[in-house]
Amino acid sequence: MQKTLSLLGLLLVFACSPEDPLDDLVETMEKPDNMEESRSSNTPEGPIFDNRNRETILTYFESLIANKQLIVGQQCGNAPDSTRWYYNIYVDQLADETGRHVGLIGADFGWSSGDNYPVQTLIDHWRNGGLVTVSWHADNPFVDQVDVYWDTVENRDQINLKALLKGEAQTKAWTSYRTELDKVAGALQQLRDAGVTVIWRPFHEMNGDFFWWGTNAHGNQQTNEDDYKALWIDLYNTLKWDYGLDNLIWTYSVVPSETWYAEVTAYYPGNDFVDLVGLDYYGVQPDFPHYDALKSLGKPLVISESGPREAGYGNWNMMEWANMLKGKAAYFLQWHSWNGAKVAIKDNKNSMELMNNSSVITRDEVLPTSF
């Protein structure tokens, strides 16, 4: 299923692969009931936190950066039906070891042709005091199989992002994309109706060449910035006005650009359509490349994906990472581990110190009444 990618692209893609061997990670766990969680009729329990809206959360993020504090976050799987499993492994077990839950959890509404979204898991974390972020690895509408990866330089002539916009002809690609969008919007509406504000991260890492919405040339020679921006703005308007989703915090999220990928600000759709600016960073050691360029966009900064790669697996110093980010980012979202790759917080160094550090915000400390 996975297409051939550039070497740097492979390093990043491994972190997001939908084929991570979940069975190896949960073989000692009892397999949960695979009910369609997003259609649960159970009434959520716990406080609604209706004071935690877009505006207050964004103001809070700015205060965290000013106060040199940051929220600790953990991604919980890729495919929507695996979120609860990963939550048990990397959030609950971390809490068993350290006494604290991460303040932020991440889920994905892509990688799937179904409509079983992890709405209940996100609501539960929210009503226990935490924040949630949702990515969308949307299915490639320009191919028949369910997939996300595509070499967008090699296949540039087969991609027409503007053909997916609301008023365009209802082609096969248009129908595929808009059908999935409708299902995802329905799940986001359920979160809205439960009082959950979502840090929303669609079409991320667009300055790379490995997702179908990505750059169409190497070395900053791309010509599809306007097409990408049109797709983003169309999604923004569709979700806000057609589906009434006023609970989304829109996150523009890039990969580091060296000589291969496009510059990190090249695809920025504009201040009116973005709330947060994020960097997805994986390395042997912690780092924050392009900080000045990203800060120049004028939005609060976050690390929207993070973790070690290769030689750093299991050796990533969580406190060094946190200390580097304090005063620069409002949160970081550590990716989960997979077979042979120790990436998650609990699988790396100093997780106990991290979760109990006074500058690190855990679930019980998120968004106090005053800040």
Question: Residue 44: which of 148, 113, 124, 151 has the closest Cα?
Answer: 124
Q: Give ∠ CA 268-269-272 in degrees, rounded to 5.
A: 120
**pLDDT at position 21, please?**
38
The answer to whether the Cα torsion of 19, 21, 23, 29 is positive or negative is: negative
**Which residues does 256 contact at the CB level (< 8 Å), separation at least 6?**
264, 279, 281, 289, 290
Is the Cβ–Cβ distance between 187 and 107 less than 8 Å? Answer: no
The answer to whether the Cα torsion of 181, 111, 102, 87 is positive or negative is: positive
> What is the C-alpha separation between 302 and 205, in angstroms, rounded?
14
Question: Residue 109: which of 42, 230, 200 has the closest Cα?
Answer: 200
> What is the C-alpha separation between 75 and 69, in angstroms, rounded?
20
**Region of 270 on the Ramachandran plot (φ > 0 left; ψ -120 to 50 alpha; else beta):** left
Phi and psi (nearest 5°) for 93?
A: -70, -35
**pLDDT at position 43, please?**
63
**pLDDT at position 10, please?**
41
**pLDDT at position 167, please?**
95
User: What is the DSSP secondary-structure string of 120-171?
Assistant: HHHHHHHHTT-EEEEEE----TTSSSS--B--TTTTGGG--GGGGSTTS---
Judged by DSSP in three states, 70 sits in: strand
> What is the C-alpha separation between 101 and 90, in angstroms, rounded?
10
Residue in this structure with the two tokens 């996100």, named with its chain if needed: 122
The answer to whether the Cα torsion of 33, 35, 198, 180 is positive or negative is: positive
pLDDT digits (tens, 9 = 90+) for 27-55: 333 334 444 455 444 667 888 898 899 99
Q: Give ∠ CA 30-21-102 in degrees, rounded to 5.
A: 70
- Report the predicted TM-score, pTM, of the whole model to 2 decimal places: 0.91
pLDDT digits (tens, 9 = 90+) for 219-251: 999 999 999 999 999 999 999 999 999 999 999
**pLDDT at position 19, please?**
42
Averages of pLDDT over each 10 residues, the chain, 371 residues = 36 45 38 45 76 96 98 94 95 98 97 90 97 97 92 97 98 98 98 98 98 96 98 98 98 91 97 98 94 98 97 96 98 96 98 98 89 69
User: What is the DSSP secondary-structure string of 134-147?
Assistant: EEE----TTSSSS-
> What is the C-alpha separation between 15 and 298, in angstroms, rounded?
28
> What is the C-alpha separation between 280 and 201, in angstroms, rounded?
12
Strands (E) across the chain are located at 70-75, 104-108, 131-136, 198-202, 248-254, 276-283, 301-308, 331-334, 360-361
Extract the tokens encoding 161: 């992002």
Extract the tokens encoding 79: 């495919």
Is the Cβ–Cβ distance between 207 and 262 less than 8 Å? Answer: yes
**Which residues does 137 contact at the CB level (< 8 Å), separation at least 6?**
16, 18, 78, 108, 110, 111, 148, 211
C-alpha dist (Å) from residue 346 to 97, 131, 304, 313, 323:
8, 19, 18, 12, 18
**Which residues does 323 contact at the CB level (< 8 Å), separation at least 6?**
none
Burial (CB < 10 A; 0-12, 13-18, 19+), residue 64, is: buried
